[in-house]
Amino acid sequence: MEHPDNTNKSGIGCVSRRSFLKGGAVVGGTIVLTGIPGMEGKALAAEMTHYPRMLIGRLSELKANKPVKFKYPDDGKNTNSVLVKLGVPAGGGIGSGGDVVAFNALCTHMGGNMSSIYKPADQAMGPCSFHQSTFDLTRHGIIIGGHATESLPQVLLELDNDDIYAVGMIGLIYGRYDNLKG
Ligand code: FES
């Protein structure tokens, strides 16, 4: 519970989450603090991440349940990804049926490459050839079974007429500490 006067037992002023949020303003991707004693005008290291906008396919060329491979957000290590039209609505799906999605294809357990292991009957990626993890592509790549504990990183998509662009990611690519640094 928030202390009524925002002061802890030591007498040192503390800042509630609400007043912190009220006291911060986002300016050009950096949070500038205001209204916090001793912190006015200081910038918090909270740079926003900027992913490339990359053309990865054309809607009219996709065939249901035939994944197309691509690399994102760069051509480096562990960026093997697949774009697939599932034929059923999916979380984050684009197109008239909301069924076109894309995921990084490296298993989040120990990095097994699943870019050629898609199961159309279940709209699932896997089972991974290493330890059998399988991921549900209709529900943001959540784990169905196996050793992995993290969902597959989903590539965020935008549709511009017939062109499909990758514009960002949710989740961390296996083997990277930052998706934008190989
Ligand atoms: S690396 Fe895929 S289940 Fe272990």
Confidence check: pLDDT of 89 > 70:
yes
Peptide bond before residue 120 is cis, with ω within 30 degrees of 0: no
Domains of the chain: 1-48 (no CATH), 54-170 (2.102.10.10)
Q: Which of 137, 124, 61, 71 is nearest to 98 (CA)?
A: 137
Burial of 177 (0-12, 13-18, 19+ CB in 10 A): exposed
> Average per-residue pLDDT in the chain?
83
Whether 131 is a known active-site residue: answer yes
Cβ atoms of 62 and 157 within 8 Å: the answer is no
Q: Name the residue of 128, 152, 174 whose CB sits within 8 Å of the most ligand 1 atoms, as the mutation to test its pocket.
A: 128
- Ligand 1 within 6 A of CB of 128: yes
Q: For position 47, what pLDDT does the model report? A: 53
Confidence check: pLDDT of 116 > 70:
yes
Note the pLDDT tens digit of each residue in 150-165.
Answer: 999 999 999 999 999 9
Q: Which single residue is written with the structure tokens 């690399």?
A: 71
More confident residue, 20 or 147: 147
Q: For position 8, what pLDDT does the model report? A: 40
- Ligand 1 within 6 A of CB of 112: yes
Average pLDDT of the residues in 3-23: 39
Q: For position 17, what pLDDT does the model report? A: 39
Torsion sign over Cα 61, 63, 65, 67? negative
Q: For position 44, what pLDDT does the model report? A: 53
Element (H, E) at 168: strand 163-170
Q: For position 36, what pLDDT does the model report? A: 52
Instruction: List the structure tokens of 98.
Output: 């909301």
Q: For position 182, what pLDDT does the model report? A: 77
Element (H, E) at 17: helix 17-23
Note the pLDDT tens digit of each residue in 29-60.
Answer: 444 445 555 555 555 555 567 999 999 999 99
Confidence check: pLDDT of 79 > 80:
yes
Q: For position 81, what pLDDT does the model report? A: 98
CA of 121 to the centre of ligand 1 (A): 21
Q: Which of 3, 131, 140, 147 is catalytic?
A: 131
**Which ligand 1 atom sits closest to the C-alpha of 114?**
2
Confidence label for 9 from pLDDT (cuts 50, 70 and 90): very low
Q: For position 91, what pLDDT does the model report? A: 98
Q: For position 171, what pLDDT does the model report? A: 97
